Structure formats: structure tokens, C-alpha cells
Amino acid sequence: MIPLEWMAPLMFSGLIAFMLIGYPVAFSLAAIGLFFGFISIELGFFEPVFMSNLPLRVFGILSNELLLAIPFFTFMGAVLERCGLAEDLLEGTGQLFGSVPGGLAYAVIVVGAILGAITGTVAASVIAMGVISLPIMMRYGYDMKTATGVIAASGTITQLIPPSLVLVVLADQIGRSVGDMYAGAFGPSIVQTLLFALYIFVLSLFRPQWVPPLPIEARTLRGWPLIRRVLWGMVPSVVLIFLVLGTIFLGLATPTEAGAMGAVGAVVLAVLRDAAFSRFGKWCAGIGFAALIILLVPAFALWKDEWFSPGLVQSAQAFVDQVRGELLGVFYVGLVVILLEAARITRLRGLIRQGFESTMRITAMVIFILIGSTVFSLVFQGVDGGKWIEGLLSGLPGGQTGFLIFVALFVFFLAFFLDFFEIAFIIVPLLAPVAQKLGIDLVWFGVLLCVMLQTSFMHPPFGFALFYLRGIAPREVKSRDIYLGALPWVGLQIIMAAIVVFWPALVTGFISKAETQDPSTVEIILEAPDNSQSPPAEGEDKKDEGQGNAASAADDPTAEIERQLKSGR
Amino acid sequence: MDVLLAFSRLIDAINERLGRLANWMVLAACLLSAGNAFSRYGYSLSSNAWLEIQWYLFAGMVMLGSAWTLNRNEHVRVDIIYGRLSTRGQVWVDIAGGLLFLLPAMLVMSWTSWTIFHESWRINEMSQSAGGLIRWPVKLLLPLGFGLVALQGLSEVIKRVAYLRGLINLDLHYEKPLQ
């Protein structure tokens, strides 16, 4: 006979043992959960009915609108990483910054941040930058360790910078809205980018021979062609970033919708950049975008109405009311033509197909881990695992800060052998309630976790960013250089974690700011000609988000049953 | 063994078809959701049915695609030990895990989720939102999906046993999914 107090520790050690064997995590988790569930029923720790919550929980996962953002963002990244945008960005910015010491390194950092905001996979960023920038850096005498380090580290920025998948998954797990999570990660991701750039700047002062400027003969582009090259990479990226992040921050779209629009935007971008894009398509696209711009200019006047004279605002309003539907119609037709082009051009068809195929497999894999961990944590909570963890952690010295430092270190070490999915789905539900009890803002907690998970990509010898870089680096780059090169950047990321721990305002400050931002003024742009129809747009918006962020809302009745069952035992 | 291998090929073929269907569901969900957003913000046109189809498709891509993902060996593992095992060692881990973890777990999940489908079917459950969809098709996906994964797990075990006996060649390459 096993006493109840032993169940949780037994379950936890069983989890570690069985995951280490190497069978796919999703099924190991489910099996351990069910196994201990049946033991608990046999031993009378809870009623068999308790287990009947399982299918309801699984259904709650599948009907969670927020998680739908996972395939959308994955698909968006999968299309963008194959369409050559990274190459244009890197070459343009490399030439732009080339003349200053450390210029190529700055270019890598900036492009890493931009790619992070639009693609969201570390692998894609590291591979693109490693293939393009590493040979150039080597040719012009960069220190090998610095070159590999800056590329691997800049690739990992994508984890922290919205709209990263990690943030979506964490938002779901801690029960806050994705918008809050993105807003919270915004400050730290900027600070991190600056921190990286600062490190290069310091290097260029004290070790200028490690980060030499490009010699004059290597700067082939200059003047107008250079500007055009840079703009050609930057403008579409910035538009996409706004389409996705801007609409979420302004409250215009739910993260799911933003993800879908971003994915469509990525396809549009791929078409616009393709050489086989037909003349007819170009005309249609041009007319469509022109219509959108004609509409956006007066809409801007309505949004920032305090900047303009009342008469102007009024006529803008009248103009928007009158032609809004027609202009948008023209724009939408343009979009449809572009999408049809994507289906026509063979190369793009293949690219999109590869994109959604890999997206399906990643989605199925991630959601199955989530299902497995739901089984596990239902039973784990049933045998009072939550209390056990809380008892272990409540004795930590230092209150909030002590707890956060502990969590940071814990995740740092876990990340040596677990992926972020496993950490987010298994560890976070265990730790988040304790954090909440200590009065820690969960977004702050989530962002800290995200920073720590990011370091897991960097630490030698298992770090993924290093692994990808090793895969594509030329033969003369030694593994030793890659590993040693990563160390200062791991240090920078740990400094970053410390900044987040000791300066919570960096995270929370942006959240309140995003919330106080003008939902009412924004509404004006969106107002349909007949006012009676428009309020639902905003209301529904909120509702969707609510549905997503309180993942538990769906299974509230379930939770109620669980409580009753447990109290009655 | 021949009969078993034929059975395994049949399962693989079924799950490949369903996997392809799940692939297209990604594209469909994406276009639908974007179209929905555009029509909502452009013309204030929206209906709960269109919103619900999105997550029906999401449930479809997960539950119908998971078995194929298993076939492609793309369910993530902790490979700190697994990666160092010999091929035979890896095959043994897969056989043991398939029989002890995957099959029982997926069969139990399939069986327990059958009840919520059956209930939904019996009362002809509709969505609570106005203009929403009928619920049983999406609830059917649960027992169906778990059942398909169980079958695929069986197929993988059969293939690995055959491999150990030298009857077939098998691509056992495992690579962590890109992140």
C-alpha cells in the first residue's frame, strides 16, 4: 500500500526516468499519467469519475482558439524562411553598416531581430545568417569565435521577440492573453538586442582587430542601389511585422487572426519577390495596394484626429464612409489575384506545400505533447502534486526574487536536456501556481522563463543554435570555436535574465501602456458605414481573446467537478 | 509475419491519406481565418459557423495528422540517451515504448473519449453560439484520432520486429524537429 504523500514524488521521478529512455514524449507522458491514474483509483485516492474529465480536457485543447495561432505562425515562418528575404536583408544591411568596425556583426544582430519578428524559428535565422554572413566575416578577417557567436546568439533572439511561438505556448499555460505576453516581451527583446550590439561596440573599442570594417573594395553597393536593396528587404518586413504585431497591440485582431493574416501576408510577400510574378498580377497587385493606401491616408487622419483641423477630419470621415467598401473590395481582389499567382507559379506552389506539410507535423507533435501533459498533470494534481511542489518551493529564501532566481537556474539546467515544449507544458503548470501565490506577475514570470529557455539554444555542447551552425559552417570553422564563441553570449543572456528579475517594470511597464492605448479611437477607422453593425467587431474581439487566454474557462465545469470529487474523497 | 506486414502497410497507407488531408487543413484553416478577419473588419460580416470551422479544422489537423507524424518519426523525443544507442537499441526502445506506453495510453484515450462523442451524438448537440455548428463530427475526431495513432503505433512495432528479423529495411533516422 502506497501512502498518498508518496504518489506525487513517485510520479515525478517516473516521468524523468521514462522521458530519458527516449520514446516520444507525448506518449510517455500520457502513459505515466494513466498508469498512476489507475493505481490511484485502485488505492482509492480518487473516484473513477475523476478520470472521465480527460476527454473533456482534450476537447478543451482542440477547441482552444488561441492554440490555432501555432499552425498559423509556423506556416508564416515556413514560407518566409524559404523565399530569400533573409538574404536580401543581410546583404543590404551588411553593406550599409560595413564601413564601421563591427558593422557586419551589427547587421547580423539587426537582421536577427527582424527575422525573429517575422519567422520565429531559430533554425531558419541561424542557417540563413550562417550561410550568408559567416563566409563574408571570415573572408574579411573577423575573429572566428566572435563571428560564430554573434550569428548563433542573434538567431536565438527570435525566441523572445514577439510573435514567437514560445510566448503563445507560455501565454496559454499561464492563462494570460497573448497580447499581454507579447507586450511584456517587447521591452526585454529590445534591451537584449541593444545589449548584443553594445557588446560588439565594446569589442570594437578594445579588440578592433576581431571585428574589422569591410574594406572599401568590398562595399560594392552604394548610393541609390544600396538604399533600394535595403528598402526592398526592410519595407515588406516592417509591413508584415505591423500586420501581425501592430494589429494585436492595437486590439484590432486576435492573435489567431493576426497569425492567419501574417501567413497570407507571407505568401503575398513570396509572390511579390518571385521572378515569375506575371505582368497582369503586378498590375492587379499595384491597383489593390493603391486602393488600400487611398483608404489608409484619411483613416490615419481619423485616428490621430487631434493633429488635424476639424474640417479636414470631417471630410476624411465622409470620404471613408462613402468609398470604404469599394476600396477594400479592390484591395481584396488584388490579394486574391496574388494568391492565385502563388498557386500558378510552380516554384511557389512547391514552397507553400512544403510549408504547410511541415506545419501540420509540427502542430500535431506540439498538441500531442500538450495532450500527454494534460493527462499527466490531471492525475498529478489529483494526487496532490501541486501541494508537494509548493511545499518544496515555499521554503526558498528571498521571497519573490529568491523564487525567480531558483526558477531561472532550474530551467537553465533542465534546458540541457529538455526542449521548450516539454518545459512549457510540464514544468510551467507546476511552477505557475507557486509564482502566483508569491504575488509574482505571471507575464513577468513567463518572460523570464522565455529568456532562460533562450539560453538553452546557446549553451555548449547541446545548444541547438550551435548545432545548426555546425551543420552549415565551412569546414575550416572548428567546433571548438563555435562552442567557445558561444560562451560570452550565454553570459549576456544570463545578464539579461538578471535584468528581467531585478527590473520587472521592463516587462510590466509595456503591458499597462498597451492596455491604455486607444481602443475607442481606433474603432473609428473600422466603423462600418452603418453604425449599427460595428460594435460587435470590438466586442467579439475581446470575447475571442478571453476565450483563448483563460484556457481553463472551457473546462471550468470540469474543474468544479474535480473539486467536488476531491473534497468528497 | 507476412500477414502482419501487409496489415502494417494498410495502416500506413490509410494514415498517409489522412495525413495529406490534414496537410490541406492547415492551408484551409489559414485562408479561412484570414478571410474571416478581412470580411469582419472590412464589411462587419461574420458568423459563428465560420469561426467554428476554423477550430474544427485545427482539431482535424491534429487528430488526423498525428498518426502520420508518428509514421514520419517526428514526435519529439528526449534524445540525450536515445541518440547514443545503437540502431538495434533504438529499435528495442521503440518496440517497448510502443507496446507499453503508446498502445495502452492511446486505446484508453480512444475508449474514454468515445463516451463524449456518443453523448453528443445521442442528444444531437449543437454549438451554444447562435448559428454554430453541430458538435458530434468534431467530437468523433477524438476517439478516431487516438485510435488511428494506436493503429499506427502497432504498425511501427510490426515494422520494427520485422526489421530485427532482417525481413525489411527501415529508415530509423530521427532528427529533432526544427524550432
B142-155 pLDDT tens trace? 999 999 999 999 99
Identify the residue among B44, B47, B128 best suited for mutation to test binding to A, counting A beta carbons within 10 A and taking the highest: B44
pLDDT for res B160: 94
- Is the pLDDT at B93 greater than 90, yes or no? yes
**Contact of A68 with B54, CB cutoff 8 Å:** yes
Question: Which of A20, A360, A528 comes nearest B78 by C-beta?
Answer: A20
Chain A residue whose CA is closest to B136: A59
Low-confidence stretches of chain A (pLDDT < 70) are: 1, 461, 512-569
Closest CA to A17 of B156, B154, B86, B97: B97
**Letter for the amino acid at A246?**
G
Q: Give pLDDT, residue A196.
A: 95
Distance in Å, alpha carbon of B74 to nearest chain A alpha carbon: 7
- Is the CB of A284 inside 8 Å of chain B's CB atoms? no
What is this structure's pTM?
A: 0.84
Residues of B in contact with A24 (CB under 8 A): 70, 75-77, 97, 102
pLDDT of residue B179: 60
> In this structure, which long-range contacts are made by residues B90-96, counting pairs with CB atoms below 8 Å and at least 24 apart in sequence?
B90/A22, B90/B172, B90/B174, B91/B160, B91/B163, B91/B164, B91/B172, B93/A21, B93/A22, B93/A23, B94/A23, B94/B156, B94/B157, B94/B160, B94/B172, B95/B157, B95/B160, B95/B161, B95/B164, B96/A23
pLDDT score at A461: 67
Which range has the worst mean pLDDT, A212-216, A521-525, B92-96, B123-127? A521-525
Closest CB to B42 among A26, A27, A332: A332
B66 chain-A contacts, CB cut-off 8 A? 364-365, 367-368
Mutation site for A-interface testing, chosen from B27, B45, B63 by largest number of A Cβ within 10 Å? B27
Q: Does the distance separating the beta carbons of B65 and A364 come in below 8 Å?
A: yes
* A-proximal residues of B, 129-158, CB under 8 Å: 138-139, 141-142, 153
Taking CB atoms and an 8 Å limit, are A63 and B59 in contact across chains? yes
Give the span between the Cα atoms of A256 and A124, in whole angstroms. Answer: 22
- Residue A189 pLDDT: 92
Q: Check residue A531 and give its pLDDT.
A: 38
- Give the nearest chain B residue to A354 (CA atoms): B23
| Collapsed DSSP state (helix, strand, coil) of residue B126 | strand
Cβ of residue A523 closer than 8 Å to a chain B Cβ: no
Separation CA A96–CA A466 (nearest Å): 27
Judged by CB atoms closer than 8 Å, whether chains meet at B65 and A30 is answered as no
List the single best residue of B17, B78, B138, B154 to mutate versus A (max A Cβ within 10 A): B78
Interfacial B residues in 1-30 facing A (CB < 8 Å): 19, 22-27, 29-30
Question: Any chain B CB within 8 A of the CB of A55?
Answer: yes
Q: Are A363 and B37 an interchain contact pair (Cβ–Cβ within 8 Å)? A: no
**Binding-face residues of A in 384-443 toward B, CB within 8 A:** 417-422
Q: Respond yes or no on whether the N-terminal peptide bond of residue A163 is cis (omega within 30° of 0).
A: yes
* pLDDT higher than 90, residue B42: no
Can you tell me the distance from the alpha carbon of A324 to that of A330, in angstroms, rounded to the nearest whole number? Answer: 10
